[in-house]
């Protein structure tokens, strides 16, 4: 077995540890009286939510329709699955250690079986919870079942449910893909590769592998992308006021693709400096171009005017513009002073207003 | 001297003007003016400035005192929307405050359990001279007390009684880092250093009556209050105080009236002298004298009530001593500065240089200078002393007098742009004047008879400016009539431009005497959503339905009850007899935001309970007749809230009905 296949298998086996760091699946629920939303997180070894009390609140709501309480203790799987994952990890590592292509093929087979079994089991539980309802439930709607979607959206009474695989599922997807490549290399084009290690075919297949990986990552929605600010609907992460002025909104996108919205430059700057560990998580800092409402600019490359004549939403009189030319024009019209991003951070920190 | 003369000349004129202003029909005498004011309002964009879209949050929190309701009301600014009422010194049947077993102790005093008070002045806690959004201090005027409200929970966390005080009006004023919150007595009373009862003949006012100023230390981390020491003062009436800032940060200034020391008919008796005093107290020096051991200890008897955060139980501690300083033995600690007679407010400008004294009977607003005061002290520019306290000369401290500000100035706040705004009770207006040349720049009518006014941060070193709220004492025709008793009225005024603009009228709860306003971002992010059940240390908490039970010993019954959508456990109870003392300890098992449960039982002679998620509250109930008594949840918690109900069976005295309880299916008796 080639060195390359060995590395693929090794990486695949190690990537399975993602299952212990991230939930595999997330079910998002939204209803009018839950503006903040409820999230149920399914892990390989536990069932949790976006807050420590989500599960309790899920169960309180569900008891009205007679659904059984969802409790970790009722799932044998949560004890079995971690063991299965460990065994598969060790299996993969052994396959890499012994450089045995048959072991790799076997490993791929086992991964596929485990993944399929997991999905089927998950679906059966959803059906069980959604249909096996207490006949004495207070709310009974003839013919209604409450099976949450396995994947995708579904309306369940007043709740809009959305079910999606989460980061943890990569802990199964990545090893399967990498093992698939290794098997392909070893069994179908492996000889050529062994004979000629610098061949383009090898690079080509490796490249495809990586491309696949990144494609998968962006599919599960964790690549950092700017997101439009829903003016009038979403609240400022820092001051909690609804973001309404489309000339002043700001946004932080984290490395995992999560977006935080702010009603003003000063709120974002203050938040960034107050939240511990936030600065390390940032992928993008965005501010709105005053001249082009709802258009986002990178915060570090924009210029800022602090002028008494241009009050901003949270009282620091900060306005963002795209180019130095526009900035100078603005300064002529509105007076005040021009700042760059690091000066803005400093001014917000010391609450400094100079015009 | 010139100033005194001019004052003497103006005094009769002022009196005449005031008499005219007091004519009740003055407003209707001049319909033209009123109409123009209305018309100009219609043209402005006032509506858009106070319009906060549905679902959007206000820019600022305003904490308005409730005066004779003993509560604080919380408003959103600029919308004027009422957000909450916080009960402090008064029982609140609405949520059981002061009625529940947990909160009763909050209202304990050396006079017994006092269920009401007159709450006048809210003051926000400070860090480095700026409001920090952690706590709100308020005073009880009638039975002297100071309370601290925790702004994480918007609950009263602590109440401390003030000994040697009567009418705690001059209170509670914090220093720039809450080193102290001070409280001065409005009424002087006899104070006996051996702690014997303070009875004396009312004719002995001059000889026996004295005043005290209390210095309450505030813990930097927890906010816990502790009466550190008092200063025994001459027997004047102490009215309002405010701390210095910047250069004057070590000082606190108190207005006094009745320096004549009249014991009766003070309306006349306390208005005889041309001048009363501003007492300037160096708190840093006082603290030093106390550390040096100059304070004497005397017996006292006062209560200190604190709410335990994790059990939500208030506990009282009785304090037995207090220490005090005698100004005669503490040189340099206090100076008296003459001010026109019967002053009301004293306000220190953001730079800390000017002390603005609003004398309600004066025709001018005198502004004293801190730097001149220091010079006068250095030069010993004294006009004698009172009980060992040097009296400074009026002219040596005076910076300027604001001429023709209006009639009946009461209070002043600042915008941080060099302007001061004074409320004019008699002429019903707000006057804007400049701290640079001490001349009037603008005035705006308010409806009617404004008392206090507030600018967000207007009493700190960096005011937020932008808005001013006038709290008016007379409402008359501003709203739809509601019989003889009307809501007091507040008015929101835009002060961002050169001219003041009236934006909004909004009714207030009871009688606000002052307010504090703070940017929402300093408070909102810390607001607690619910209490964690696992942190609940209430000794009668029931953390699981399985632990719900009824325990009876003799004629005392403890019901350990839980509430969760949409049932209580137990909801059927038997084995209670007429005359038993029943305690319902109700724990709300919810762990989500905005799911309180209520508890009420028929015939309860106290109130209901409103229990926040994760908390335990207790209602005491003594049934007076046999029968079946329904109980239910009073807060619409869920779709099946109406079904969240149960029964208690009460048997006649002496009948031995076994204790039984259940929910759903019957459980075996204990």
Q: Within this chain, do residues B329 and B398 fall inside the same structural domain, yes or no?
A: yes
Q: Within this chain, do residues A203 and A262 fall inside the same structural domain, yes or no?
A: no
Measured CA to CA, the distance from residue B642 to residue A83 in angstroms comes to 48
Residue A61: name the closest of A29, A25, A35 by CA: A29
Residue A227 domain flag = no
Name the CA dihedral angle for A102, A107, A109, A114, rounded to a multiple of 10 degrees. Answer: 170
Measured CA to CA, the distance from residue A70 to residue A47 in angstroms comes to 8
H-only helix segments in B65-129:
none
Quick one: pLDDT at residue B4? 52
Residue A111 domain flag = yes
CB within 8 Å: A239 and B464: no
What's the token pair of residue B552? 């009876």
Measured CA to CA, the distance from residue A25 to residue B142 in angstroms comes to 61
Quick one: pLDDT at residue B33? 43
Task: Give residue-wise pLDDT tens across range B52-106.
Answer: 999 999 999 999 999 999 999 999 999 999 999 999 999 999 999 999 999 999 9
Quick one: pLDDT at residue B177? 97
The least confident of A216-230, A250-264, B252-266, B359-373 is: A216-230
CATH code, domain with B538: 2.60.40.420
The verdict on B494 touching A (C-beta cutoff 8 Å) is no
The listed range with the strongest mean pLDDT (A91-105, A122-136, A313-327, B646-660) is: B646-660
Domain boundary among B510, B526, B542: B526
CB within 8 Å: A240 and B520: yes
Quick one: pLDDT at residue B212? 97
Could you tell me the pLDDT band of residue A349, with boundaries at 50, 70 and 90?
confident
The verdict on B663 touching A (C-beta cutoff 8 Å) is no
Q: Within this chain, do residues B509 and B538 fall inside the same structural domain, yes or no?
A: no
Query: How far off is chain A from B512, nearest CA to CA, in Å?
Result: 27
Spatial strand order of the sheet with B645-651 comes to: B609-611, B597-601, B627-632, B645-651, B572-577, B660-663, B665-666
Phi, psi of B644, deg, nearest 5: -80, 80
Could you tell me the pLDDT band of residue B21, with boundaries at 50, 70 and 90?
very low
Quick one: pLDDT at residue B39? 43
A52 → chain B, closest CA residue: B591
Enumerate the residues of chain B whose CB falls inside 8 A of the CB of residue A242.
Answer: 53, 55-57
Quick one: pLDDT at residue B15? 47
Q: Within this chain, do residues A171 and A98 fall inside the same structural domain, yes or no?
A: yes
- Looking at chain B, the number of H-run helices and the number of E-run strands are 9, 47
Q: Within this chain, do residues B266 and B371 fall inside the same structural domain, yes or no?
A: yes
Task: Give residue-wise pLDDT tens across range B183-194.
Answer: 999 999 999 999
CB within 8 Å: A238 and B521: yes
Enumerate the residues of chain B whose CB falls inside 8 A of the CB of residue A139.
Answer: 639
- B-interface mutation test, from A32, A34, A50, A57, most B Cβ less than 10 A away: A57
Could you tell me the pLDDT band of residue A235, with boundaries at 50, 70 and 90?
confident
Quick one: pLDDT at residue B363? 86
Could you tell me the pLDDT band of residue A208, with boundaries at 50, 70 and 90?
low
Residue A254 has pLDDT above 90, yes or no: no
Tell me which DSSP letter residue A350 carries: T
Residue B443 has pLDDT above 70, yes or no: yes
Quick one: pLDDT at residue B22? 43
Quick one: pLDDT at residue A43? 94
Residues in chain A whose Cβ is within 8 Å of chain B: 52-53, 56-57, 60, 64, 138-139, 232, 235, 238-242, 244, 267, 270, 314-315, 351
The least confident of A345-349, B41-45, B253-257, B552-556 is: B41-45
Task: Give residue-wise pLDDT tens across range B576-592.
Answer: 999 999 999 999 999 99
A353 → chain B, closest CA residue: B462
Residue B304 domain flag = yes
CB within 8 Å: A244 and B55: no
Could you tell me the pLDDT band of residue B544, with boundaries at 50, 70 and 90?
very high
The verdict on B52 touching A (C-beta cutoff 8 Å) is no
The verdict on B522 touching A (C-beta cutoff 8 Å) is no
Task: Give residue-wise pLDDT tens across range B596-612.
Answer: 999 999 999 999 999 99
The verdict on B309 touching A (C-beta cutoff 8 Å) is no
Task: Give residue-wise pLDDT tens across range B387-416.
Answer: 999 999 999 999 999 999 999 999 999 999
Task: Give residue-wise pLDDT tens across range B444-461.
Answer: 999 999 999 999 999 999
Mean pLDDT across the stretch B541-553? 97
Residue % of chain B over a pLDDT of 90? 87
Query: Helix or strand or coil: residue A281?
Result: helix
Q: Within this chain, do residues A175 and A254 fall inside the same structural domain, yes or no?
A: no
Q: Within this chain, do residues B501 and B540 fall inside the same structural domain, yes or no?
A: no
Query: Are B367 and B263 in contact, with CB atoms under 8 Å apart?
Result: no
The boundaries of the domain holding residue A35 are 3-219
Residue A225 domain flag = no
Q: Within this chain, do residues B543 and B615 fall inside the same structural domain, yes or no?
A: yes
Bigger pLDDT: B334 vs A202: B334
Of A53, A239, A314, the CB nearest to B591: A53
Query: How far off is chain A from B498, nearest CA to CA, in Å?
Result: 14
Could you tell me the pLDDT band of residue A203, with boundaries at 50, 70 and 90?
low
Q: Within this chain, do residues B444 and B309 fall inside the same structural domain, yes or no?
A: yes
Residue B19 domain flag = no
Query: How far off is chain B from A63, nearest CA to CA, in Å?
Result: 9
Residue A41 domain flag = yes
Pairing of strands B572-577, B645-651: parallel
Query: Helix or strand or coil: residue B174?
Result: strand
Of A53, A139, A242, the CB nearest to B56: A242
- A-interface mutation test, from B48, B49, B56, most A Cβ less than 10 A away: B56
The boundaries of the domain holding residue B643 are 533-666
Q: Within this chain, do residues A172 and A288 fall inside the same structural domain, yes or no?
A: no
Q: Within this chain, do residues A36 and A150 fall inside the same structural domain, yes or no?
A: yes
Distances (CA, A) of B37 to A14, B33, B425: 77, 6, 19
Query: How far off is chain B from A130, nearest CA to CA, in Å?
Result: 21
Which of residues 566 through 595 in chain B touch A, CB cutoff 8 A?
566, 590-592
Mean pLDDT across the stretch A279-292? 87
CB within 8 Å: A238 and B524: no
Measured CA to CA, the distance from residue B104 to residue B97 in angstroms comes to 7
Could you tell me the pLDDT band of residue B286, with boundaries at 50, 70 and 90?
very high
CB within 8 Å: B592 and A315: no
The verdict on B57 touching A (C-beta cutoff 8 Å) is yes
Residue B1 has pLDDT above 50, yes or no: no
Quick one: pLDDT at residue A217? 52
Q: Within this chain, do residues B479 and B593 fall inside the same structural domain, yes or no?
A: no
Domain boundary among A219, A239, A271: A219
CB within 8 Å: B592 and A53: yes
What's the token pair of residue B178? 């809450």
Q: Within this chain, do residues B518 and B571 fall inside the same structural domain, yes or no?
A: no
Q: Is B213 left (phi over 0), alpha (psi -120 to 50) or beta?
A: beta
In total, how many domains does chain B have?
Answer: 2
Residue B638: name the closest of A158, A40, A51, A52 by CA: A158
CB within 8 Å: B592 and A57: yes
Domain boundary among B526, B548, B572: B526
Quick count: other Cβ atoms within 10 Å of Cβ B544?
A: 11
Mean pLDDT across the stretch A54-65? 90
Q: Within this chain, do residues A191 and A82 fall inside the same structural domain, yes or no?
A: yes
E strand or H helix that includes residue A82? helix A77-98
Quick one: pLDDT at residue A238? 87
Residue B18 domain flag = no
DSSP string, B266-318: HHHHTT-SSEEEEEEEEHHHHHHHHHTT-PEEEEEEEEEEEE-TTT--EEEEE
The listed range with the strongest mean pLDDT (B197-211, B353-367, B509-523) is: B509-523
Q: Within this chain, do residues A206 and A286 fall inside the same structural domain, yes or no?
A: no
Enumerate the residues of chain A whose CB falls inside 8 A of the CB of residue B640.
Answer: 64, 138
Residue A71 domain flag = yes
Which residues, other chains included, contact A116 with Cβ-Cβ below 8 Å and sequence gap of 6+? none
Residue B149 domain flag = yes
Q: Within this chain, do residues A264 and A184 fall inside the same structural domain, yes or no?
A: no
Measured CA to CA, the distance from residue A37 to residue B391 in angstroms comes to 66
The verdict on B53 touching A (C-beta cutoff 8 Å) is yes
In total, how many domains does chain A have?
Answer: 2
Q: Within this chain, do residues A259 and A187 fall inside the same structural domain, yes or no?
A: no
Domain boundary among A219, A237, A269: A219
Residue A243 domain flag = no
Q: Within this chain, do residues B508 and B574 fall inside the same structural domain, yes or no?
A: no
Alpha-carbon Rg for chain B in angstroms: 27
Bigger pLDDT: A127 vs A234: A127
Enumerate the residues of chain B whose CB falls inside 8 A of the CB of residue A241.
Answer: 56-59, 520
Q: In the A/B pair of chains, how many CB contacts fall below 8 A?
A: 52
The verdict on B318 touching A (C-beta cutoff 8 Å) is no
Residue A75 domain flag = yes
Bigger pLDDT: B508 vs A231: B508
Quick one: pLDDT at residue B633? 97
Quick one: pLDDT at residue A221? 46
Q: Within this chain, do residues B454 and B547 fall inside the same structural domain, yes or no?
A: no
Domain boundary among B478, B506, B526: B526
Residue A45 domain flag = yes
Enumerate the residues of chain B whose CB falls inside 8 A of the CB of residue A60.
Answer: 564-565, 590, 592
Tell me which DSSP letter residue A302 carries: -
CATH code, domain with B329: 2.130.10.10
Q: Within this chain, do residues A182 and A41 fall inside the same structural domain, yes or no?
A: yes
Q: Within this chain, do residues B46 and B172 fall inside the same structural domain, yes or no?
A: yes
> Residue B391's beta-bridge partner residues?
B336
Q: Within this chain, do residues A178 and A254 fall inside the same structural domain, yes or no?
A: no
Of A56, A232, A241, the CB nearest to B57: A241
Enumerate the residues of chain A whose CB falls inside 8 A of the CB of residue B643.
Answer: 138
B639 → chain A, closest CA residue: A64
Residue A214 has pLDDT above 60, yes or no: no
Quick one: pLDDT at residue B106? 98
B638 → chain A, closest CA residue: A61
Query: How far off is chain A from B519, nearest CA to CA, in Å?
Result: 9
Q: Within this chain, do residues B331 and B443 fall inside the same structural domain, yes or no?
A: yes
Q: Within this chain, do residues A32 and A81 fall inside the same structural domain, yes or no?
A: yes
Quick one: pLDDT at residue A143? 82
């Amino acid at each position: 077995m080639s060195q390359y296949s060995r590395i693929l298998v090794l990486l695949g086996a190690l990537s399975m540890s993602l299952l212990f760091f991230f939930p595999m699946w997330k079910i998002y629920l939204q209803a009018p009286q839950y503006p903040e939303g409820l999230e149920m997180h399914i892990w390989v070894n536990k069932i949790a939510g976006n807050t420590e009390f989500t599960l309790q609140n899920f169960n309180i709501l569900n008891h009205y329709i007679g659904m059984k309480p969802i409790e970790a203790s009722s799932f044998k799987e949560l004890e079995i699955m971690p063991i299965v994952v460990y065994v598969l990890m060790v299996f993969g590592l052994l396959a890499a250690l012994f450089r045995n292509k048959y072991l790799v093929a076997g490993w791929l087979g086992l991964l596929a079986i485990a993944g399929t079994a997991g999905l089927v089991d998950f679906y059966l539980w959803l059906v069980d919870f959604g249909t096996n309802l207490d006949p004495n439930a207070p709310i009974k709607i003839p013919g209604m079942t409450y099976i949450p979607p396995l994947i995708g959206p579904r309306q369940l009474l007043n709740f809009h449910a959305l079910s999606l695989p989460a980061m943890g599922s990569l802990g199964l997807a990545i090893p399967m893909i990498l093992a698939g490549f290794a098997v392909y290399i070893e069994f179908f084009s492996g000889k050529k590769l062994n004979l000629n290690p610098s061949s383009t075919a090898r690079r080509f297949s490796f490249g495809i592998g990586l491309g696949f990986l990144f494609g998968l990552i962006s599919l599960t929605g964790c690549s950092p992308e700017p997101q439009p600010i829903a003016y009038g609907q979403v609240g400022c992460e820092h001051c909690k006021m609804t973001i309404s002025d489309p000339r002043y909104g700001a946004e932080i996108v984290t490395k995992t693709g999560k977006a935080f919205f702010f009603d003003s430059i000063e709120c974002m700057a203050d938040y960034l400096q107050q939240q511990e560990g936030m600065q390390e998580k940032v992928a993008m800092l965005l501010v709105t171009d005053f001249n082009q409402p709802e258009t986002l600019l990178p915060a570090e490359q924009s210029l800022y005017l602090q002028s008494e004549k241009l009050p901003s939403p949270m009282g620091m009189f900060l306005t963002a513009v795209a180019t130095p030319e526009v900035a100078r024009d603005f300064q002529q019209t509105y007076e005040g002073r021009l700042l760059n991003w690091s000066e803005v951070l400093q001014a917000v920190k010391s609450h400094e207003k100079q015009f | 001297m010139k100033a005194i003369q001019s004052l003497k000349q103006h005094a009769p004129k002022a009196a005449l003007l005031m008499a005219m202003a007091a004519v009740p029909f003055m407003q209707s005498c001049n319909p033209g003016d009123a109409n123009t004011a209305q018309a100009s309002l219609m043209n402005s964009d006032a509506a858009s400035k106070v319009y906060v879209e549905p679902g959007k949050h206000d820019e600022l929190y305003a904490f308005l005192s409730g005066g004779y309701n003993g509560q604080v009301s919380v408003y959103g600014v600029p919308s004027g929307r009422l957000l909450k009422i916080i009960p402090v010194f008064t029982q609140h049947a609405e949520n059981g405050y002061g009625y529940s077993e947990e909160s009763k102790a909050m209202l304990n005093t050396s006079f017994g359990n006092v269920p009401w008070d007159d709450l006048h002045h809210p003051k926000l806690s400070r860090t480095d001279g700026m409001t920090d959004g952690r706590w709100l201090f308020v005073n009880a005027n009638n039975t002297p007390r100071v309370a601290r409200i925790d702004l994480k929970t918007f609950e009263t966390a602590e109440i401390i009684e003030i000994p040697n005080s009567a009418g705690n009006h001059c209170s509670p004023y914090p220093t720039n880092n809450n080193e102290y919150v001070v409280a001065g007595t409005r009424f002087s009373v006899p104070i006996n250093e051996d702690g014997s009862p303070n009875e004396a003949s009312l004719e002995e006012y001059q000889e026996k009556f004295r005043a005290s100023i209390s210095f309450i230390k505030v813990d930097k981390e927890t906010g816990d209050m502790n009466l550190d020491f008092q200063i025994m003062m001459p027997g004047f009436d102490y009215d309002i105080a405010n701390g210095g800032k910047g250069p004057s940060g070590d000082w606190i200034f108190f207005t006094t009236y009745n320096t004549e020391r009249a014991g009766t008919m003070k309306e006349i008796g306390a208005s005889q002298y041309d001048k009363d005093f501003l007492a300037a107290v160096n708190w840093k020096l006082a603290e030093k004298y106390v550390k040096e051991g100059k304070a004497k200890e005397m017996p006292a008897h006062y209560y200190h009530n604190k709410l335990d955060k994790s059990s939500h139980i208030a506990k009282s501690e009785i304090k037995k001593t207090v220490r005090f300083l005698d100004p005669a033995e503490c040189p340099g600690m206090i100076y008296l500065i003459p001010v026109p007679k019967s002053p009301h407010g004293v306000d220190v400008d953001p730079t800390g240089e000017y002390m603005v004294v609003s004398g309600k009977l004066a025709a001018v607003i005198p502004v004293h200078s801190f730097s001149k005061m220091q010079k006068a002290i250095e030069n010993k520019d004294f006009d004698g002393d009172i009980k060992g306290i040097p009296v400074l000369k009026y002219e040596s401290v005076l910076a300027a007098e604001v001429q023709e500000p209006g009639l009946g100035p009461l209070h002043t706040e600042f915008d941080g742009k060099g302007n001061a705004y004074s409320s004019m009770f008699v002429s019903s207006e707000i006057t804007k004047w400049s701290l640079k040349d001490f001349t009037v720049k603008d005035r705006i009518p308010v409806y009617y008879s404004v008392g206090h006014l507030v600018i967000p941060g207007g009493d700190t070193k960096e005011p937020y400016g932008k808005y001013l709220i006038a709290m008016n004492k007379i409402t008359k025709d501003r709203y739809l009539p509601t019989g003889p008793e009307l809501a007091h009225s507040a008015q929101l005024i835009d002060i961002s431009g050169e001219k003041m603009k009236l934006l909004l009228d909004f009714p207030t709860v009871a009688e606000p005497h002052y307010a504090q306003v703070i940017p929402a971002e300093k408070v909102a992010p810390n607001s607690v959503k619910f209490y964690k059940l696992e942190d609940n240390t209430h000794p009668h908490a029931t953390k699981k339905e399985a632990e719900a039970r009824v325990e009876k010993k003799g004629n005392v019954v403890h019901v350990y009850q839980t509430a969760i959508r949409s049932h209580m456990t137990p909801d059927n109870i038997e084995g209670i007899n007429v005359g038993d003392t029943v305690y319902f300890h109700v724990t709300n098992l919810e762990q989500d935001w905005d799911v309180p449960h209520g508890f009420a039982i028929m015939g309860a002679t106290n109130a209901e309970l409103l229990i926040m998620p994760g908390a335990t509250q207790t209602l005491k109930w003594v049934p007076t007749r046999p029968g079946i008594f329904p109980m239910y949840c009073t807060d619409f918690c869920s779709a099946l809230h109406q079904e969240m109900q149960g029964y208690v069976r009460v048997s006649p005295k002496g009948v031995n009905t076994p204790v039984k309880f259940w929910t759903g299916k019957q459980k075996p008796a204990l």
